[in-house]
Structure 1
Amino acid sequence: MRSHSDAIEVVIRAGGVDLQGILTMPPGATTLVVFAHGTGSSRHSPRNRYVAAELNRCGMGTLLMDLLLPEEDQVQAIRFDVELLAARLAQATDWVAQQQAMPLRYGYFGASVGGAASIRAACQSPIPIHAIVSRGGRVDLAGPDALAKLLAPTMLIVGGLDVSVLERNEAAFALMRCEKELVTVPGASHLFEEPGTLESVARLAARWFARHLGGAAP
């Protein structure tokens, strides 16, 4: 492990492969949010790192990790293999839980196909998942069974300009039976690159996780 400030680079064994991650645990943190990135992204995603930093400022721990090896990320079919991503996410959650000296409350933050993986993983994880936030997620890819089975309180955040993903989220939202909220960020496209839109995502996520995991709301 290599430490930079309170961030630690970790190697996580999941699904028979070694996955790279960045674990940040603020002093006294009792919660951990595990990030599931979208296709073609990684633990270095500037958008997810921004959200993670905001959660850290609220006293929440975060784990940014690659669910795929670099060579796997070049294969389109693997990048959209929700079952593979979900299995690795659940295994990684179990791995990090075993490394902690004290029990934590866990949440998932998923982007794009990572949103679907988060929902599937929450249904599979041996570690209880207490909250999920999806940013521009293709949560429809989780499938109707997982959406109906999901117990973790879940917030779906979609850009108002991201019409096709918004429609898919609305359809998935109707199938979910857990505590849920669908929030549209006005003027935001799929990547939330417009001024102020990513800040809105971080604020919404922090409040949702603080409510269901504990911690200080922004």
Structure 2
Amino acid sequence: MLKRDLFNSKLFEAPDDNNGAPADGQKPTEPTPPAEPNPDDDPKGGEPNKVPIKDQRRIRQDAINQFKSSNEFKQLMADTIAEGEKRAKMSAEEKAEADRKAQEERDQQERDKFHQEQAHFYAQQELASRHLPDTFADYIADQDHDTMIANVDSFEKSFNEAVHDETLKRMQGDQTPASGNQTPDATVTKKDWDSMSYSEQLAIYQKNPQLAQQFMN
């Protein structure tokens, strides 16, 4: 009996082979997965060209501090305090009336914005129907339809005159061809553009639409 117990105990002992193998019947211990890196601790990690989170926080806080020290913020606080003091002295009826007027102003602003966008859309449509560049819609848009049509008529006349003059110049060889990659009218500045007439602006638009659109944006 003693020998059999000794045999059984020897049989189930873990082998000592010095290679770290687990004993029979035992599950190997799984390695603990590494903790996820903290983006604040690794400014170079994450997506390329992405500002680290801690830098984003610092930039945001710097912007807040700068705004707090600006005259705009001081004026905002003064207006807020003054409005609060004024409202505190109001009766319930006066507060209700003030709220009603404020809501009316917001509604009117929304209506004005809608009408402006609508006028711009109709101006674009009218220009496109006449095969005119719709980038000039801001110049001729008007909430009154008749006024907008009159603006387009005037614009179309100036546009056609400018195109006609430019065509004559090209036919007469009055234009000096640009050499290499030089862009026509590259020396025109925003100040020059603003001082030009419609006809002059349209002439630039015909020769160099890209340059003209930079000034119209």
Would you say same fold, with TM above 0.5? no
TM-score, scaled to structure 2 = 0.21
**Structure label with greater radius of gyration:** 2
Higher helix share: 2
Question: More relative contact order in 1 or in 2 (CA 8 Å, sep 6+)?
Answer: 1
TM-score, scaled to structure 1 = 0.21
